[in-house]
Amino acid sequence: MQKLVEGLHRFQSEFCRSNQDLFERLSQGQNPEALFISCSDSRVIPNLITQTGPGELFVLRNAGNIIPPHGSGGVGEMATIEFAVTALGVKDIVVCGHTLCGAMRGLLELEKLDSMPAVKSWLSHAESTRRIILENYTHLEGNARLTATVQENVLVQIENLRTHPSVRSKILRGDLAIHAWVYKIETGEVFAYDQERGQFMPFGGTISSNQPPLSVMHKAAS
């Protein structure tokens, strides 16, 4: 806690004093460019990854970057999405998973979550992800299996996102785009899903010898 308090003092004494114009602009309202949905993992920092500042991202974070389908719970997530799309008018939504995700590891090992019933219940919104992995990725083990789970979960949650009325209506009008990303904690790389290739590609859409796809997706599942 002492580290947090010291950081707060530095923020107030250094950053705030030298950026009063920024705070003045922020006090006039917000106009974020995108809604960024990510995991609560402390190693994943949306503004750091995208190099954005205050007021530029509207952020929704929870365990496993999960979006319950409309009407199935997750009122907080539903309200956040609705506000971002309807009130703030964001034009883009990014759903960003990450490698080494503890929530996705738990999804693969539900029997170990009996002592965390709330977590186990929450992960039921990713049951489709679990089924896809069990039925289509039997050839993978360890971190490769976990990474595939992370990837498939991003795609599953995007399908859930499309069930929200505020999102669906904007997509049909061409006023909203949805993006599937995976952040690789080990290197800081970001991979974006390429619909035509059926895999997550290094951001920018090209493959080089030292930057391959994150892994090959099961196209029937995606």
Tell me the pLDDT of the chain (222 aa) as tens digits. Answer: 999 999 989 999 899 999 999 999 999 999 999 999 999 999 999 999 999 999 999 999 999 999 999 988 779 999 999 999 999 999 999 999 999 999 999 999 999 999 999 999 999 999 999 999 999 999 999 999 999 999 999 999 999 999 999 999 999 999 999 999 999 999 999 999 998 888 999 986 443 334 455 554 544 333
Strand 92-98 and strand 34-39: the pairing is parallel
Q: Which 8-state DSSP code applies to residue 98? A: E
* Cα end-to-end distance, the chain, whole Å: 43
Identify the helix (H) or strand (E) that includes residue 60: strand 57-62
Q: Which residue has the tokens 């929200």?
A: 164
pLDDT for res 215: 55
pLDDT for res 71: 85
Q: 82: which residues sit within 8 A by CB, 6+ positions away?
A: 164, 166
Domain boundaries, the chain: 31-202
C-alpha–C-alpha distance, residues 8 and 16, integer Å: 10
C-alpha–C-alpha distance, residues 126 and 207, integer Å: 30
Strand 57-62 and strand 92-98: the pairing is unpaired
pTM of the model: 0.89
Domain 31-202 CATH (choose: 3.40.1050.10, 3.40.50.150, 3.30.70.270, 2.40.240.10): 3.40.1050.10
